[in-house]
Chain A
């Protein structure tokens, strides 16, 4: 799957394939140490954050975590 930033696609692909292996071979088998893909995640993250900024996607809107809060049950701001 592609990234919002075209320049991040290759980094995302590398990270995704690492994550899929980690998820099935480590995480689901009880190993919760996530250092395996950490270096790839870091470079991919830097790229995505930059792409979001360029496309004016406000990180603050995304960062808000409504899960399990009262906010989750209330209708959106109008």
Chain B
């Protein structure tokens, strides 16, 4: 059995980090993860319980494949709890494939940084157990170094997802601003249109009224003597 632990602080509040945790995959740092499926999800006493099946493509060295068998796609079971009241998110993952020989139990905990509530502390623990195959210790060491390497990539991935979410929020704000501008512009243009149309109508009306008035005037004014036909 081999235990590996690590800590990391994200410069983002817990709420942002937990949102990103759900959207961690796909990311360019962990291309091995090819699928996540929610098997079960429910809210119990204000805590969100989720069971996911995580599918990934693992590249085991050939010699290891000979010992534990070959599997192109590996499956892992991930159980998580999110407690928004106490601001805790815990994810526990165990591999399903190679269950007979290898067990990798990984636990991730996201909580507010005790020194700064605006930051998030991640504690990560992995327990690797290899049984029933030769070179047990060697295999455990190999897996542990692989986990250590992947943990770094996982944290980079989280930052990448957070950046993406922040960009989306900014985009949304930009779109909203643009819409408001657009709306103002449209309204102004319509108002201008309306004004010019009204002005035109008024002019037309005045012109028509003047014409009618002149006509009436013409009718009521007795024709001048010059225009009288000579008898």
Please list the residues of chain A having a beta carbon within 8 angstroms of any beta carbon in chain B: 1-4, 8, 12, 15, 19-20, 23-24, 27-28, 30, 32-34, 41, 44-45, 48, 52, 57, 59, 61-63, 65-67, 72, 75-78
- Say whether B138 faces chain A, with CB atoms less than 8 Å apart: no
- Say whether B177 faces chain A, with CB atoms less than 8 Å apart: no
| A4, chain B: closest CB distance, angstroms | 5
A23 touches B37 (CB 8 A): no
Given A27-B48, A41-B41, A78-B101, answer yes or no on A1-B84 (Cβ-Cβ < 8 Å).
no
Provide the main secondary structure of the chain A interface: helix
| A74, chain B: closest CB distance, angstroms | 9
What is the chain B residue whose CB lies nearest that of A76?
Answer: B103
A4 touches B23 (CB 8 A): no
Task: Pick from B19, B43, B82, B94: contact of A66, CB below 8 A.
Answer: B94
Q: Count how many pairs of residues, one from A and one from B, have CB atoms less than 8 Å apart in the complex.
A: 87
Provide the main secondary structure of the chain B interface: strand
A residues less than 8 Å from B53 (CB atoms)? 4, 52, 57, 62
Task: Pick from B23, B79, B96: contact of A20, CB below 8 A.
Answer: B23
